[in-house]
């Protein structure tokens, strides 16, 4: 499909579907008009004046017949403001309409199109049942537009859609109707939008979704069961948002989740059972958050065969208790702390500022404990020795007394 310009107005363009009709009508009008002028100009004045009523009637009928067609073509062109720069590969069922300055969805695409690329345009809203003429779409790319409104049922007719890219738009809210009709969707990207929260109705119809990208938004809260219908989800990108707390229940249905990216948030607290539903998790990325301490049970509740955990870039408040937690985690065979050697402490003095979690930064405390322990042991040993000495002394004195009494009795 290529753009075609008319000579009627410099700002009007006719689509390739309307262009053949317009050209035929224009040619017919031109021929008829030429025929009438030729009859009039080449006839003597008297003959021209005496032109039969039949010829005039015929010419007028031709003009009256063509006029509605011309007006219809022009009306269609002007009402839809066709500015098509789409390239359609009919044999591949692909329509590429990128960087074409569209402000509305095109309406004259091949109905068998399966892949439609509308990225890098100026679309601002997607209306209900907007893709009624391209119901066979399997891939729809709407990234890099100015979309701020997704109407309920905007994609409801695309029951076979597998991939939907809405990244880099201005979407701040998702209604329940947003996911209607997208039961076959497997890959959804909403990255780099303006979402602030996810509630339980956002993704209710995504029964087959496997990959969800919500990175680079401003999400602060995730309501309970926000991902409740996504039992097939395998990858979840929540990095680069404003999350602070992860509570129990938000991942309760994600039994098949394999990758959970949470890096570059503000997370400072994890509920103990928050990870327990993730029985297939292979990678958990919590780097560059605001974690200062963790509980051993939080990760121990992760009942997986093998999980790689990344925790670098957090402001760890290092003490012996936290170090013991990490040492115990390192001894759990199914958990792998990939960046354990690079976990740095922020609460130590300048001389120990660059100490890592594996350093013996609490040696002084250990020495103190050892000294106290040795003191107690020495005290106990000394007490035992003193008690034994007293016992022997007492026994010895008793023996002398008994000897003295026997000597007195023999003397008598």
What does the pLDDT read at residue 299? Answer: 93
What does the pLDDT read at residue 319? Answer: 85
Cα separation, 331 vs 171, whole angstroms = 45
What does the pLDDT read at residue 70? Answer: 45
Length of the chain: 412
What does the pLDDT read at residue 19? Answer: 40
140 in Cβ contact with 163 (< 8 Å):
yes
Tell the residue number behind the tokens 């199914």, with chain if given.
334
Q: What is the pTM of this model?
A: 0.71
What does the pLDDT read at residue 356? Answer: 65
Per-residue pLDDT of the chain (412 residues; tens, 9 = 90+): 544 333 323 333 334 444 444 444 445 545 545 544 554 455 555 544 444 455 555 555 555 555 555 444 444 433 333 335 799 998 999 999 999 999 999 988 999 999 999 999 999 999 999 999 999 999 999 999 999 999 999 999 999 999 999 999 999 999 888 999 999 999 999 999 999 999 988 899 999 999 999 999 999 999 988 998 899 999 999 999 999 999 998 999 999 999 999 999 999 999 999 999 999 999 999 999 999 999 999 999 998 999 999 999 999 998 888 888 999 999 999 999 999 988 988 876 555 555 666 665 565 455 555 667 787 888 888 888 887 777 777 766 655 555 455 445 555 4
Cα separation, 192 vs 198, whole angstroms = 15
Tokens representing residue 257 in the block: 């989740």
- In terms of phi and psi (left: phi > 0; alpha: psi -120 to 50; beta: otherwise), the region of 329 is alpha
Cα separation, 214 vs 144, whole angstroms = 15
198 in Cβ contact with 171 (< 8 Å):
no
The per-residue pLDDT for range 327-381, each reduced to its tens digit, is: 999 999 999 999 998 898 887 655 555 566 666 556 545 555 566 778 788 888 8
124 in Cβ contact with 147 (< 8 Å):
yes
Determine which helix (DSSP H) or strand (DSSP E) holds 49, and give its type and residue range: helix 45-49
Q: How many CA atoms lie within 13 A of 43 on its CB side?
A: 14
Cα separation, 142 vs 205, whole angstroms = 20
- CATH 3.80.10.10 positions along the chain are 85-242
CB-neighbour burial class of residue 182 (10 A; exposed 0-12, middle 13-18, buried 19+): buried
CA gyration radius for the chain? 41
What does the pLDDT read at residue 402? Answer: 54
Cα separation, 1 vs 170, whole angstroms = 29
152 in Cβ contact with 129 (< 8 Å):
no
Q: Report the Cα–Cα distance between both ends of the chain, in Å, rounded.
A: 143
DSSP state of 201: T
Assess if CATH 3.80.10.10 describes domain 85-242: yes
Cα separation, 200 vs 202, whole angstroms = 6
């Amino acid at each position: 499909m290529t753009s075609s310009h008319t000579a009627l107005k410099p700002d009007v363009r006719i689509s390739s579907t309307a262009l053949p009709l317009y050209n035929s009508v224009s040619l017919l009008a031109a021929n008829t008009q030429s025929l009438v002028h030729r009859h009039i100009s080449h006839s003597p004045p008297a003959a021209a004046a005496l032109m039969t009523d039949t010829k005039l009637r015929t010419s007028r009928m031709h003009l009256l017949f063509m006029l509605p067609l011309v007006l219809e073509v022009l009306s269609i062109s002007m009402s839809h403001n066709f500015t098509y720069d789409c390239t359609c590969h009919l044999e591949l069922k692909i329509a590429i309409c990128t960087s074409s300055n569209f402000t509305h969805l095109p309406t004259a695409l091949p109905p068998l199109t399966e892949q439609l690329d509308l990225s890098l345009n100026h679309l601002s809203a997607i209306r209900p049942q907007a893709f009624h003429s391209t119901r066979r779409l399997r891939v729809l790319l709407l990234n890099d537009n100015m979309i701020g409104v997704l109407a309920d049922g905007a994609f409801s007719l695309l029951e076979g859609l597998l991939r939907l890219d809405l990244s880099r738009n201005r979407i701040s809210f998702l209604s329940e109707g947003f996911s209607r009709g997208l039961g076959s969707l497997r890959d959804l990207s909403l990255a780099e939008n303006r979402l602030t929260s996810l509630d339980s109705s956002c993704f209710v119809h995504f029964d087959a979704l496997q990959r969800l990208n919500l990175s680079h938004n401003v999400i602060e809260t995730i309501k309970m069961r926000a991902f409740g219908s996504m039992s097939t989800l395998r990858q979840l990108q929540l990095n680069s948002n404003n999350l602070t707390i992860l509570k129990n229940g938000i991942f309760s249905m994600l039994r098949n989740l394999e990758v959970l990216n949470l890096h570059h948030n503000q997370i400072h607290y994890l509920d103990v059972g928050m990870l327990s539903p993730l029985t297939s998790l292979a990678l958990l990325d919590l780097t560059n958050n605001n974690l200062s301490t963790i509980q051993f049970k939080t990760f121990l509740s992760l009942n997986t065969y093998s999980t790689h955990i990344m925790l670098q870039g957090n402001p760890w408040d290092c003490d012996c208790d936290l170090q013991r937690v990490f040492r115990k985690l390192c001894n759990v065979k199914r958990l792998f702390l990939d960046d354990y050697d690079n976990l740095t402490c922020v609460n130590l003095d300048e001389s120990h500022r660059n100490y890592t979690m594996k350093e013996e930064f609490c040696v002084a405390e250990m020495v103190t404990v050892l000294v106290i322990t040795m003191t107690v042991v020495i005290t106990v040993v000394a007490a035992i020795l003193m008690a034994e000495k007293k016992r022997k002394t007492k026994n010895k004195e008793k023996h002398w007394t008994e000897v003295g009494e026997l000597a007195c009795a023999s003397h008598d």
